[in-house]
Structures are given as structure tokens and as C-alpha cells.
Amino acid sequence: MNLSSSEIERLLTTSDPTLVDELKAEACRVRDEVYGRRVFMRGLIEISNHCKNNCLYCGIRRDVHCTRYRLSKEQILDCCRQGHELGFRTFVMQGGEDGWFTDDVVCDIVRTVKRDFPDCAVTLSLGERGRESFARLREAGADRYLLRHETADEAHYSYLHPAEMSFAHRMQCLRDLRDLGYQVGCGFMVGSPHQTLDTLQKDLAFISDFRPEMVGIGPFIPAAGTPFEHERAGSVELTIRLLAIIRILHPHVLLPATSSLGTMHPQGRERAIAAGANVVMPNLSPQDTRALYSIYNNKLATGSEAAESAADIRLRMAAIGMEVPTDRGDFAS
Ligand code: SAH
């Protein structure tokens, strides 16, 4: 459905609770029509916190002094084994831009995961790479790729990133991923420094136009040791409204209730589902590395953010009338 920019502005700024309730109810109706009352689980494996980039918001940017780690192939396969037993049928391998993970290394891991777990989807989220690299990873069996666009406004993009990173290249990566047949995820932080209603309108217009299979959004949370460490965190309420608007603009999208929302609010995940979200991505990384993938402060990796709590997640979802199938949860075309 189309919403005009003035309707969007009204929904994002209104203090009328009835209007917000109607927005959320409409988003759920649209989601239920496409996907039913189902929430898909993905197991998130944080494979490395080494990063050559210096994004101003990110707690594992190059210039932050922190303990760095990377997982071995065996550790990653162990995570998948545990996840498979817990009912996960999608593994998301995310990390900083770590040169150790060359195409050969990642292809080998992807091939092995796809061979050992043929009923599972593999999602990669390893930042920007060249088209040839994306092509090789796709041939090795990767099904999906998450690369948040971060902001659809070029000036805002250069405020959030160092000069050596470019908006044009990030967008080119998204188009390449799409051309190569990946299910593609974009997304942005809510309340990042210098974000305005106008930049949000551009994010929503970009999503309506690009029609990605997935969209990840969550509040910006300041990260220690970064240039933005004293900035204010983004708003949970605004994130919830944006989730609902994205669902209405793009009914088929797979829309996660992200960890940053869970970190900011104890009921963050439930509130997101009640606004049209339909994916949760609990943490499947080894226990001893979870705290090190500190892209923002106090990032949750326990309780319902932990993959071991799959049973708890199912219960919490059942309590709000949602079922959690043991299913890859592919995009419904
Ligand atoms: N290197 C990969 C993965 C980055 S981490 C990539 O570039 O795609 C995944 C996402 O976490 C980022 O895309 C960003 O939107 C989000 N993120 C990073 N720092 C954050 C912060 N301080 N608060 C909230 N979200 C953050």
C-alpha cells in the first residue's frame, strides 16, 4: 500500500494513541495475510569482530581498543550443530570486515554448512565486498545477504562514515547482491546522529523502491570508545512506528524484531511483533565471544536474545498468539 509523505509524517509525529494503535493493527493484519501468525527464527553467529572500517557509530570500529576475536570453521560448525538441534533452519554469519575471511575461507565454510545442514538457509552479513566476491559466495551456496544501507541520504551517510567509505558503493553492493539472486536485506538505525524526518522519508522511499526481501531496523545505541559515545540513543516508540509503516508499504518483507530493540526495552521484541515484525534473531555465537561483539553498549545476548532460550522464545511468542515454526522462513513471493 502507498502512504503519502504527509501521512507518514503524521504517523511518525502524532501524539494520538488511537492513531498509533490503528497503525499497528493494520500492520499486523497485512503481515498475517501474507505470513500468517508466524515468527521465523534465525540463529545469529558473530564470526569476527575484527574490522578494517571505522564507522563512527560502531563499537567494533577499527580505532576502538577492544579484545578482538574470530571464530574458526570448527567453532562456526559447532554453533550450527547446536542451532540445528534447537530448531534453527537459518544461520546468519555476521562480522566486521575482516580480511582473514577471504572468499576462499568463506566459500569453504558456506559449502560445508550447506552440505551438513541441507535443510538450512545461510545468510551472510560481512559488509561490503566486490561483485566477484558476492558471486563466488552465492555459488558456494549462500542464500541471503544482509547489508544495511544505514541511511538513504548521501550527506547523512557521510556524517556517519569516514571519508574512505561511500554511499555510492554501499548502494552498488545492494544492487549487485540483488542481481546475483540473493534474498537481500537492507536497513538503518533509528535515531542515529543527524537523522531527521526528511532522512527517514528517504529511507522509506528507498525501501518502497528497492523492495528488499528483508529490512533490519533498530534504535541507535551509543557505543563506548566511538565518536558518538555521548550521543543520545534512538527512540523505541519511533522504531515501533517505523516497523509498522515498513510492513504496510511492503507487505511481504521479512522484518526482524532486532536485538537493539530488545536491549532498549524488556518487551521490545513483543512490541515489534505487535507492530508487524515477524523475525527474531537470537544469538548462537559461542558463549565466551558474545560480550566481545559489542557493536553498542550493553548489547543483550542472554535471556530471550540467546539461542539456548529457543524454548523460552517459543513460549513468549505463543503468549502473544504467534507460532514459531521450524522452518527456513523464506521470503513469500
Ligand atoms: N560489518 C557488517 C555488519 C555490521 S553490524 C556490515 O557492515 O554490514 C550490523 C548492524 O548493526 C550495522 O549495519 C548497523 O546498522 C548496526 N549497528 C552498528 N552500530 C550500532 C549502534 N551503535 N547502535 C545500533 N546499531 C548499530
Q: Write down all domains in the chain, each with its CATH number in brackets.
A: 5-319 (3.20.20.70)
Give the closest residue (by CA) to ligand 1 atom 8: 127
Would the pLDDT of 302 be above 80? no
Describe the crossing of helices 131-139 and 167-179 by its angle, rounded to 10 degrees: 30
Residues facing 185 on adjacent strands: 146, 214
Dist. CA 61 → ligand 1 center (Å): 10
pLDDT over 90 for what percent of the chain? 91
Predicted confidence (pLDDT) per residue in 41-89, tens digit: 999 999 999 999 999 999 999 999 999 999 999 999 999 999 999 999 9
Between 171 and 333, whose confidence is greater? 171
Q: How far apart are CA 242 and CA 232, in angstroms?
A: 19
Of 101-110, 133-142, 228-237, 259-268, least confident by mean pLDDT is 259-268
Would the pLDDT of 300 be above 90? no
Give the closest residue (by CA) to ligand 1 atom 24: 220
Dist. CA 295 → ligand 1 center (Å): 7
Would the pLDDT of 311 be above 70? yes
Give the closest residue (by CA) to ligand 1 atom 6: 127
Contact 137, 125 (CB under 8 A): no
Task: Assess whether the C-beta atom of 184 lies below 6 angstroms from ligand 1.
Answer: no
Task: Assess whether the C-beta atom of 262 lies below 6 angstroms from ligand 1.
Answer: no
Between 302 and 176, whose confidence is greater? 176
Residue among 106, 119, 126 nearest 51 (CA): 126
Contact 295, 257 (CB under 8 A): no
Q: How far apart are CA 108 and CA 10, in angstroms?
A: 49
pLDDT over 70 for what percent of the chain? 99
Q: What is the mean pLDDT of residues 223-235?
A: 98
The alpha carbon torsion through 285, 291, 295, 298 (nearest 10 deg) reads 130
Residue 193 one-letter amino acid: P
Mean pLDDT (the chain, rounded): 96
Task: Assess whether the C-beta atom of 259 lies below 6 angstroms from ligand 1.
Answer: no
Of 154-168, 184-198, 273-287, 303-317, least confident by mean pLDDT is 303-317
Would the pLDDT of 306 be above 80? no
Contact 219, 225 (CB under 8 A): no
Q: What share of the chain is helix, strand, coil (3-state, %, to 5)?
A: 45, 15, 40
Task: Assess whether the C-beta atom of 9 lies below 6 angstroms from ligand 1.
Answer: no
Q: What is the mean pLDDT of residues 233-256?
A: 98
Give the closest residue (by CA) to ligand 1 atom 7: 127
Task: Assess whether the C-beta atom of 94 lies below 6 angstroms from ligand 1.
Answer: yes
Between 305 and 108, whose confidence is greater? 108
Give the closest residue (by CA) to ligand 1 atom 16: 189
Predicted confidence (pLDDT) per residue in 271-286, tens digit: 999 999 999 999 999 9
State which ligand 1 atom lies nearest to the alpha carbon of 128: 7
Task: Assess whether the C-beta atom of 58 lies below 6 angstroms from ligand 1.
Answer: yes
The pLDDT of residue 304: 65
